[in-house]
Amino acid sequence: MTARTDRRDQPARKWRSSVGILRVLLYAVGLVPAAATFAMGLANRLGPDPVNVFERTLGLWAIRFLILSLCVTPLRELTGVSLLRYRRALGLLAFWYALFHVTVYVGLDQGFDGAVLLADITRRPFVIMGMAAFLIVTVLAATSNAWSIRRLGRRWRAVHRMVYLAGLCAAVHFILSFKLLRAEPLLYAVVMALLLLYRLLPDAIRRRRLAQR
Amino acid sequence: MSIFRYPRPSASEITPRSAWLSRRGLLATGLAGAIVPPGLMRPAPARAAALAARPDAQFGGGLTPTPFQDVTHYNNFYEFGLEKTDPAERSGGFHPHPWTVRVDGLVANPRTYDIDALLARPLQERLYRMRCVEAWSMVIPWIGFPLAELLKEVEPLGSAKYVAFESVVRPSEMPGQDGVLPVLDWPYVEGLRLDEALHPLTILAVGLYGQTLPNQNGAPIRLVVPWKYGFKGVKSVVRIRLTDTRPPTSWNLRAPDEYGFYANVNPEVDHPRWSQATERPIGARGGFFGAARKPTLPFNGYGEQVASLYAGMNLRRDF
């Protein structure tokens, strides 16, 4: 065992540092849609309702990254391809986009109008769903560091299972943001539902592939 | 009988300078159009014809019209698709001519109007606010005539209490009527109480910005009721029918708890999913920071003229 590790020491270190580079790259690429849309807005290129377009684009990317982060486990269990190293980055990107989305809603869209915001957040299921998803991913982002993982121990997994609830709330929030049932949010909801239902499968089925290796 | 006639300026004199500029700008930026995503910038259909109208100074004092480009490239017309850019992009195959409007039902003198005869009437230009139920708003220089004119010509019977409107059904020319997912039931139908329909603010529009209606805005003729949410303004009207019972309306059929029959603009009665207290003015240039929300006015600012129509009614229940 030791001999093998020794022999592989060099490439392993290289691999580890390339993981780091890839992770930084993932953050950089992941934030491109936000930066590009913001730049287009500043240049007045988002059409006649720029705030609305910006707000929706940010929300859409939040849900996309949430879905990607939820794909990591099934992908690993079903195909053996492990992107576990990038899961936290994907989750954090979902959080950043959710934060941008909420910031634009509160600031640019509603102009920090406390009365309207309070009414929205307390009375409207559409907004409540979105806010619930945002609060959950905020908690998950805040406890995603190594210190929290150590500190929370066994409870960390339980806390981070709340991501399933966040995914559900986000999908419903997206559907409700249109006047009619629309194909795009439905498609996202179906993908989200499949990813959540997968978690309900018995371990025997889920880990068959891993056990074979 | 010889009476004084108002001077009739030509369309070019009426159309605000900003409109002409924005149209010129489109030609000039034709090259830029090649690199800008489609939909954000696209010329208006070429078939638009100039339309003379007398500006009605009684309406629209102090309002600044929304740029022509935005009025014609950002709107809902689900017959052509669900995106705001769909009507402009996907209405090119629609034929608004020839066209007739049938006016019948509980009337003594049912008639079928040809669009050319309607366009030849004395027309007025009115600058109206337009408030969408989705909480955005515009100011549009419509050209048209009071609906009351037509209604008086067909002589409503005493039993007539409501007016029902019906839009055109042409799946071959309107891709939104041909979709897979259920949208609305076609034809799009709307309705008004007879006194609302006879109100001088209620017009049938046949043009905007000094020209005939572009396809995407409801060519060749549409309803405009400025104190109600935009969805009441049924487009591409083919039939107007007077009835004694309240006619069904498309959005109310789809979601009765969200869209009422009256649909009067009311900042105090929220949509179940969003507030109606404020609105985003469309096309306020300056990107993100140029378009601050502004308060929505009761009856969209036309309360002085129309509030009496609803005296004694509970507008929270009859929304």
What is the reported pLDDT for B10? Answer: 46
CA distance A97 to chain B (A): 18
CA distance B280 to chain A (A): 8
Look at A42 and B288 and tell me if their CB atoms are within 8 Å. yes
Q: CA A191, A196, A201, A203 torsion: positive or negative?
A: positive
Q: Containing H/E element for B239? A: strand B237-243
The CA-atom distances, in angstroms, between B254 and each of B170, B250, B257 are 20, 6, 9
Say how far apart CA A192 and CA B285 lie, in whole Å. 38
User: What is the SS3 assignment for B7?
Assistant: coil
- For the entire predicted model, the pTM comes to 0.82
Say how far apart CA A87 and CA A82 lie, in whole Å. 10
What is the reported pLDDT for B1? Answer: 40
CA distance B312 to chain A (A): 27
What is the reported pLDDT for B290? Answer: 65
What is the reported pLDDT for A18? Answer: 78
Confidence of residue A15 (pLDDT cuts 50, 70, 90): low
CA distance B152 to chain A (A): 36
DSSP one-letter code for B142: E
Say how far apart CA A113 and CA A121 lie, in whole Å. 12
Chain A (45-74) residues lying within 8 Å, Cβ to Cβ, of chain B: 45-52, 54
Say how far apart CA B95 and CA B180 lie, in whole Å. 23
User: What is the SS3 assignment for B23?
Assistant: helix
For A44, nearest residue in chain B (alpha carbons): B287
Q: Of the candidates A42, A126, A180, which has its C-beta nearest B273's C-beta?
A: A126
Look at B39 and A180 and tell me if their CB atoms are within 8 Å. no
Is the bond preceding residue B98 a cis peptide, omega within 30 degrees?
yes
Q: Containing H/E element for B295? A: strand B294-295
Contact partners, residue B176, CB within 8 Å, separation at least 6: B77, B78, B79, B80, B81, B82, B86, B90, B183
Q: Tell me whether residue B233 is annotated as binding.
A: yes
Look at A109 and B293 and tell me if their CB atoms are within 8 Å. yes
- Lowest mean pLDDT segment, chosen from A98-102, A107-111, B138-142: A107-111
**A111 and chain B in contact, CB less than 8 A:** yes
Rounded average pLDDT over A10-24: 74
Say how far apart CA A171 and CA A176 lie, in whole Å. 9
Nearest to A165 by CA among A190, A135, A124, A210: A135
Contact partners, residue A107, CB within 8 Å, separation at least 6: none
Q: Of the candidates B74, B183, B293, which has its C-beta nearest A48's C-beta?
A: B74
Nearest to A63 by CA among A91, A105, A44: A91
Query: What is the pairing mode between strands B162-167 and B189-193?
Result: antiparallel
Task: Retrieve residue B45's tokens.
Answer: 């259909």
**A120 and chain B in contact, CB less than 8 A:** yes
User: pLDDT tens digit string along A152-200?
Assistant: 989 999 999 999 999 999 999 999 999 888 999 999 999 999 999 999 9
**A180 and chain B in contact, CB less than 8 A:** yes
Rg of chain B over Cα atoms, rounded to whole angstroms, equals 19
User: pLDDT tens digit string along B198-219?
Assistant: 999 999 999 999 999 999 999 9
The mean predicted confidence, pLDDT, of chain A is 89
Which residues in chain B land under pLDDT 70? 1-47, 284-287, 290-291
What is the reported pLDDT for A206? Answer: 81
Say how far apart CA B275 and CA A126 lie, in whole Å. 12
What is the reported pLDDT for A211? Answer: 65
Contact partners, residue B203, CB within 8 Å, separation at least 6: B124, B126, B142, B144, B145, B146, B147, B223, B224
What is the reported pLDDT for A76? Answer: 92
| CATH number listed for the domain at residues B16-22+33-310 | 3.90.420.10
Q: Tell me whether residue B22 is annotated as binding.
A: no
ipTM, 2 dp: 0.78
